[in-house]
């Protein structure tokens, strides 16, 4: 069942999404070679609690930490550890928060120092594919329209779209209906209506779309050990159109990136 949100609930969800956005902004300030993902996890947990929220992943399905930290060939659900990040790594950071009874869920793949041009392109295209997908999240369109757009855009670059993990509705539960695959067929699946809120989250591999799970029961990595990127936004349908609830603004400020890529999806 799809839980439709009122405008008041959507504003509460924006608050939850912004807790996560600001937390990722703090992480952006301190990601550099030598820092460990466990150190970043502690920073995120404290920062979320300082904002009157609680970490959304900690304890969810028994996940042990605040952040999912997935370097290089890891796709998602990596567990923070005390191994230092190295120059040239990429690290996908996925963060959730619960505030006022609603979840935010939002992810970004960071470069650690200088990365090679091929990997840089993977990050750029994956982030762009997120907006390509969001553009299709409007009243009257269907789940397959978002997936089709993301798949077509990323496969044109020779990349692999992960099949087994998908975006999702979000609200009082972290994972609500509908599932939002990053692949699909135009015009297929559930229809989008006013007040729907979803997390759209392309997980895009440089090589094969195939994945494997580590024996820890969590970590997902690419089957060919090539890098994978992950970007995620929370989006509502307001006045028939996609309205971004989360933002990369704080990350961009921390990294000195100037962009207007979110403008078309923002009334506030």
For Mg ion, the binding residues (CB under 5 A) are 94, 105, 107, 199, 201, 232
At 95 the three-state DSSP class reads: strand
Q: Which is nearer to Mg ion, 98 or 107 (CB)?
A: 107
Q: Which is nearer to Mg ion, 97 or 199 (CB)?
A: 199
Packing angle between helix 7-30 and helix 37-50, nearest 10 degrees?
140
Exposed, middle or buried: residue 4 (CB in 10 Å: 0-12, 13-18, 19+)?
Answer: middle
CB of 232 to Mg ion, least distance (A): 5
CB of 200 to Mg ion, least distance (A): 9
At 105 the three-state DSSP class reads: strand
Q: Which is nearer to Mg ion, 197 or 238 (CB)?
A: 197
Give me 198's structure tokens. 């979803």
CB of 158 to Mg ion, least distance (A): 25
Angstrom distance (rounded) from CA 201 to CA 191? 19
Closest CA to 201 of 108, 110, 80, 101: 108
Q: Which is nearer to Mg ion, 186 or 190 (CB)?
A: 190
Contact 227, 38 (CB under 8 A): no
**List of residues 6+ apart from 156 with CB closer than 8 A:** none
Give me 167's structure tokens. 């975006």
Strands (E), the chain: 54-55, 67-71, 74-76, 90-99, 102-111, 160-161, 167-169, 176-180, 197-200, 203-205, 211-213, 220-222, 228-230, 233-238, 241-244
Q: Which is nearer to Mg ion, 89 or 201 (CB)?
A: 201
CB of 116 to Mg ion, least distance (A): 26
Q: Which is nearer to Mg ion, 117 or 154 (CB)?
A: 154
CB of 234 to Mg ion, least distance (A): 8
CB of 96 to Mg ion, least distance (A): 6
């Amino acid at each position: 069942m799809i839980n439709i949100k009122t405008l008041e609930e959507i504003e509460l969800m924006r608050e939850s999404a912004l807790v996560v956005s600001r937390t990722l902004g703090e992480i952006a300030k301190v990601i550099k070679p030598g820092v460990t993902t466990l150190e970043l996890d502690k920073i995120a947990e404290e920062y979320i609690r300082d904002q009157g929220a609680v970490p959304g992943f900690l304890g969810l399905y028994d996940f042990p930490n605040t952040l999912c930290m997935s370097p290089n060939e890891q796709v998602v659900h990596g567990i923070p550890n005390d191994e230092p990040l190295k120059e040239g790594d990429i690290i996908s950071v996925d963060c959730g928060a619960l505030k006022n009874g609603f979840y935010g869920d939002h992810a970004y793949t960071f470069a650690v120092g200088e990365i090679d041009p091929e990997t840089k392109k993977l990050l750029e295209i994956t982030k762009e594919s997120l907006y390509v997908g969001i553009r299709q999240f409007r009243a009257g369109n269907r789940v397959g329209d978002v997936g089709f757009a993301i798949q077509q855009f990323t496969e044109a670059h020779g990349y692999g779209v992960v099949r087994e993990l998908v975006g999702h509705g979000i609200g009082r539960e972290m994972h609500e209906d509908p599932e939002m695959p990053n692949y699909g067929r135009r015009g297929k699946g559930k229809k989008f209506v006013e007040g729907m809120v979803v997390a759209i989250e392309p997980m895009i591999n440089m090589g094969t779309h195939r994945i494997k799970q580590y024996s820890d029961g969590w970590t997902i990595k690419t089957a060919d050990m090539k890098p994978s990127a992950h970007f995620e936004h929370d989006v509502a349908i307001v006045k028939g159109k996609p309205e971004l609830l989360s933002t990369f603004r704080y990350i961009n400020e921390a990294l000195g990136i100037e962009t207007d890529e979110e403008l078309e999806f923002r009334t506030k």
